[in-house]
Amino acid sequence: MISDHSVSNSESSDAMGSMNTEEFAMQVGKLLVERHCDDVALLNVTGLSQVCDYVLVGTGTSDRQMKSVATEVAALGRELQFPPFRKNIDTGATWIVVDFISLVVHLFEPERRAYYDLEDLWSDAKRVEISTESSPA
């Protein structure tokens, strides 16, 4: 039996005529930048990860800001037809994960981000430039 999650959003979006995973990931990355997250990095882990196509990492300035950004990220996902699969916050709100299956968003406080160093873990991944310019109307 094939589950509903066996086809990634990046594969299924063309058939539905909606945005693909990379476009969605770039929108989420832009949101992180606009909400003053530091050192926002979008990594294409297609073919490197068995669980997702993109990893987005950002550093928050406080637990309050990180929680607020995570809530906005989840709302943006629902709005753009990428409903979040799961959201997880550690007890100290030093690491928040919003999982969209094909995109996994990590929001860290600075020390926790340095400790886990996801960019080094995914050092073979292609880094995707996040455009912060407005889309043409």
Q: CA-to-CA distance for 127 and 63, rounded, in angstroms? A: 26
pLDDT digit string (tens) for the chain, length 137 residues? 222 333 344 444 443 447 899 999 999 999 999 999 999 999 999 999 999 999 999 999 999 999 999 999 999 999 999 999 999 988 888 999 999 999 999 999 999 999 999 999 999 999 999 987 765 54
The pTM for the full model equals: 0.84
Annotated domain spans of the chain: 13-119
Q: Write the CATH number of the domain with boundaries 13-119.
A: 3.30.460.10
CB neighbour class for 124 (10 Å; exposed up to 12, middle 13-18, buried from 19): exposed
